[in-house]
Structure 1
Amino acid sequence: MEPGRLWALAMNTTRARILRDVAAPGPPELVMRAEHRRLQGLVGAAAQPPAIAEADPLAADRRDFVVQVIQLLETHRLASDFDRLALFAAPALLGELRAGMPARLDATVVARVPRTLVEMPGDALLDAMRSELDV
């Protein structure tokens, strides 16, 4: 891969792990977890149905989480914290990420890998990413 600060995102529908500077030693990592606000709202308000029911609260929570992750990445891109970005997620989630990314953030993406690595322990995750990205 070409030089520059490479960040990598491993994500599923409820958890995102962002490894900063994948080529450098050690795994400095940011972790985000989905809050499931809509699903919790339905469970908490079982006795009193909401005025406007969400057709699929899990899908809505997933969309919200994707937006939060994209916003975090865009904030760091604007701060020039990374030059290149690799994405590791299930194919459907990769599609959602691509569809929601601003053009300038999408331009930093050097790899979209259809693998779900988010549950791997730190060192194994870093090794798998490095192997996939040849760094």
Structure 2
Amino acid sequence: MADGIPLGATGMEPGRLWALAMNTTRARILRDVAAPGPPELVMRAEHRRLQGLVGAAAQPPAIAEADPLAADRRDFVVQVIQLLETHRLASDFDRLALFAAPALLGELRAGMPARLDATVVARVPRTLVEMPGDALLDAMRSELDV
């Protein structure tokens, strides 16, 4: 479904379709979803701010982060967007589908450069990131009608 519209109804155009399944700590990018057995890129959040607080528990921080988990999440969203933008600039994909919780979809949309956002053909409010490989691919293909 593309923003609530089934993609089959919109006449999905041809081209390389990549799909991102993401939560706040993990991102899985499936390349060329329509092809058999696409390779997968996986990213994991580092939680640098949270680890810094745990490591510095004995010492008061010079500048306290109000919400280190939220800051780590924002950093991770930026990293994922930067990776996708790098691949878009290399013409590795023409279309992009996003699968994530609604709030995370909003953060992705807000942080994307306009040209990357223009490649997005579907924003699906489902968290699929924990699914095994074949099940993830099947769920994405079903949702995207490919």
TM-score by length of structure 2 reads 0.92
Q: 2:79 aligns with which of 42, 46, 68?
A: 68
SS at match of 1:25: coil
The separation in 1 between residues aligned to 2:61 and 2:115, in whole angstroms, is 38
SS at match of 1:112: strand
Identity score, percent: 100
CA positional deviation for 1:50: 1.0
Runs of 4+ residues deviating >6 angstroms: none
Alignment of 1:45-124 (within 5 A): 45-124=56-135
Q: Say if 1:74 and 1:105, in contact at 8 Å, map to a contact too.
A: yes
Equivalent pairs, count: 135
SS at match of 2:75: helix
The separation in 2 between residues aligned to 1:44 and 1:27, in whole angstroms, is 39
Q: Say if 1:17 and 1:29, in contact at 8 Å, map to a contact too.
A: yes
CA positional deviation for 1:101: 0.1
Q: Say if 1:27 and 1:122, in contact at 8 Å, map to a contact too.
A: no
TM-score by length of structure 1 reads 0.99
CA positional deviation for 1:27: 3.0
The separation in 2 between residues aligned to 1:27 and 1:88, in whole angstroms, is 17
SS at match of 2:27: strand
The separation in 1 between residues aligned to 2:124 and 2:76, in whole angstroms, is 19
The separation in 2 between residues aligned to 1:66 and 1:26, in whole angstroms, is 26
The separation in 1 between residues aligned to 2:73 and 2:80, in whole angstroms, is 11
Cα RMSD (Å) of the superposition?
0.4
Gaps of 5+ in 2: 1-11
